[in-house]
Chains A and B, each alone.
Chain A
């Protein structure tokens, strides 16, 4: 349900995604104190936009405050996202609401050769069935993978990407799937079963501090903080 850690309230989320005006009674009293971020114009998207419409719209949505991307990067991301949409939906307003299917995102050259491409798309997708990305999800993805993102947020999302069964910890299956993704499936690169067992034993021995047989987020972040490699390799630039 939901995705990408938006655990605030599923009702809230559903409300926002449907873009209805809210009535105070439908929100959970504990979580909602203020009104949600309103839709920018009361009449919806009906009004045609001025030529500078994209820039003003982007600044109104405050993408620069909510991501680590610069204005040029956001505009480039928007252009690339629009290329994935069918021709008739490429206007500014529609592109900000449209969703692109997973297959189309996976066809991007930056992701095509990545063994974790399906996991990346699943982690960043906010649709209920986690099979499509909106423009905001796409921006989230680029923001986490950008140069200026903090190592903390990168390691957080790396943990989610490596957690193949989505249970909040990295257990032995997750680790062995991870290693298989890294080494590939061909005969000469795949590790044998005993090598795999030895490797996973070593990993757990080094990283599992509380000795429960799995690696949780804190332990993962602790390990990653010891590797100065990580921030420079966990980068995707359009």
Chain B
């Protein structure tokens, strides 16, 4: 969108004809362009004028134009409605507005993320109930079993008759809905992640988020309230100082000798290996806790032991970050590196603990990775588990409930008393303790853990998304209360853009972590022989070939078999490589073109100033001595306040002394 024109200042009468011509050209361009009037950067009076010029009121518009205009209006309204829907129909708008006004967009992004997750869970619930629950209830009335385990909360309660070619296959629906949900979530998360992706500023340079973009977009215009503005100023000042420090540090680094660089690398390795060992220790603790809890089911203390795995996970995830922060701070890294390193390790710890939890469950229930006689006959531990899916579902419910109770407990038993004590007493200790800092990454990791558990449980407990939705809904209000009453703002700035990318990335990792065990179970593990939908199948996935044989005619069957076979992977791989090659070569060609254009632009501006210099020497000296207007593209300059007080170009130097043109200083004076 180039607005390639400029007007001379109105006080220069000799330029009138040129100005008039420019005006006419611009008017013509504006009238002919298809852009809607609202995107033009002019005042309302001018927009109305342009609109009038485009479609004069008296002239009858043709049916085609009327229809087009109606279609555009309808399209715009639909777009607005769709956008409102994806934002949850205005759910929590007031609360988000208040939080944004008081704390800025960084912290507001956490609460927007909560809303996104709530909508995701409701969508999953809708899909599951629409395709599985409702047909089940419709086709076969529910018979309530004696135990809690036989409700629709768990896998075991779902039953269906043998497959036939004419009825709706509950089995297929039950099998495919978790996979479809995971796929939809994957696409949704990827889309949002790409939106927040920090872009490379200069091609060929190392990636560093551009300082200029940060400076220009650092003020949150939604802040209301003097206090919030003061806090924001502190944050911005700290951020700028940190960036400058980082820049100096980077320069220093580049001047290091090889030996110094090797030394630096070694210290880097040292701290990472140490933290890695801690993480390994933590997840083995989780492994043993889960095994112990499952092996000692007959103990009298079983009620306590039931919650041992969630308890150990919570403890590990509480102590871990504290230790990481302590260890990383010992090394005296620049602040950005510190923050990033700690964050990465916290994410690794969180996801590894969940992964280890599911692995150790798999080991006890399904004998993965060890040989036990009880597993040999059925492929799962039939001695201890009648219906192993139900047991896994129970564990996941327990984990989910425990995490939520922990959130509530922390909010009301730790943050609230802390605030009350700090307010009540004064003294060095209490001043040092201060209120709790609202750390966005930590809260995000907690909520992503809950979501990962939900995704893990889609196959075993189809109603877990409902429970998670309720938890997220309550968490929003609890966290809002904690933020507004019991916390203080963190001095370190958390930018909204990097946070969107970070949140979605962690969510994506959680989704992948949940998808792997699900894929394994669905494709290779024998289901329980006397409960659930897949009792007579070797693995749940075997329903699909059976149904394909029942429903589809032989030619389609052959095509499907081919698509699913190994032989198809070769053409697919070749096709994907081709597409990838085209994309990469296109982007390389574009970056070459951009480099060339940049050089051309610099050269042209140099030449322009050179010519202006020649002209100013040739012309008789005008009285005003104003700096020649910059004819840079795109800006319709408002009226100049008159000749600039500084910037009297002499014959041999260009430009005003206060705006250096380093590229031009070397030009020879002709």
Complex interface: chain A residues within 8 A of B199 (CB): 226, 228
Which residues between 585 and 605 of chain B lie within 8 Å of chain A, taking CB atoms?
598, 601-602, 604-605
B210 proximal to A (CB < 8 A): yes
- Judged by a CB distance under 8 angstroms, whether B356 is at the interface is no
- CA A223 – CA B216 in complex, angstroms? 9
**Shortest Cβ distance from A169 into B: residue:** B630
The distance in angstroms between the C-alpha atoms of A168 and B224, with both chains bound, is 29
User: Judging by beta carbons under 8 Å apart, are A114 and B221 in contact?
Assistant: yes
The size of the chain A interface, using a CB distance under 8 A, is: 104
Contact B233 A145 (CB under 8 A): no
Q: Which residues, 183 to 238 on A, are CB-close (under 8 Å) to B?
A: 183-184, 186, 188-191, 195, 198-199, 202-203, 206-207, 209-214, 216-218, 220-221, 223-224, 226-230, 232-237
Whole-angstrom distance between the alpha carbons of A171 and B638 in the complex?
Answer: 16
Instruction: Give complex CA distance A216, B601 in Å.
Output: 13
Contact A3 B638 (CB under 8 A): yes
Q: Pick the most buried of B202, B226, B632: most chain A CB atoms within 10 A of its CB.
A: B632
List of B residues within 8 angstroms of A70 by Cβ: 80
Residues of B572-616 at the interface with A, using a CB-CB cut-off of 8 Å, are: 598, 601-602, 604-606, 609
Q: Is B44 at the interface (CB under 8 A from chain A)?
A: yes
Chain B 631-665: CB-based contact to A (< 8 A → 1; otherwise 0): 01111111111001000000000010011111110
Check A110/B10 contact, CB under 8 A, given A126-B45, A198-B244, A229-B217: no
User: Which residues in window 27-43 of A have CB below 8 A to B?
Assistant: 28, 30-31, 33-38
Out of A2, A115, A145, name the residue touching B638 (CB < 8 Å): A2
Say yes or no: is B46 at the interface (Cβ < 8 Å to chain A): yes
Contact: B10 with A1, CB < 8 Å?
yes
Which single residue of chain A is at the shortest CB-CB distance from B659? A213
A220 to B48, CA, bound (A): 28
Q: Mark A21-56, 1 if CB is under 8 A from B, else 0.
A: 000000010110111111000000000000000000
- Judge whether B97 and A237 touch: CB under 8 Å: yes
Question: Does B45 lie within 8 Å of A169, measured CB to CB?
Answer: no
Q: Is B640 in contact with A167, judged by CB distance below 8 angstroms? A: yes
Asked whether B226 lies within 8 Å of A113 as measured between CB atoms, the reply is yes
Residue from the list A10, A66, A169, A223 in contact with B37, Cβ < 8 A: A66
A137 neighbours in B (Cβ, 8 Å): 43-44
The answer to the question of A156 belonging to the interface, with a C-beta cut-off of 8 Å to chain B, is yes
Contacts of A5 in B (CB 8 A): 41-43, 46, 636, 638
Tell me which of A84-92, A97-105, A147-155 binds B: A147-155
List chain A positions with a Cβ less than 8 A from chain B. Answer: 1-10, 12-13, 16-17, 28, 30-31, 33-38, 62, 65-68, 70, 109-110, 112-116, 124, 126, 136-137, 139-140, 143, 145, 148, 150, 152-153, 156-160, 162, 165-169, 171-173, 178-179, 181-184, 186, 188-191, 195, 198-199, 202-203, 206-207, 209-214, 216-218, 220-221, 223-224, 226-230, 232-237
Known: A3-B43, A191-B237. 12 other contacts (CB 8 A): A6-B42, A34-B56, A113-B225, A113-B229, A140-B43, A145-B221, A148-B80, A167-B637, A171-B659, A182-B219, A212-B659, A229-B217
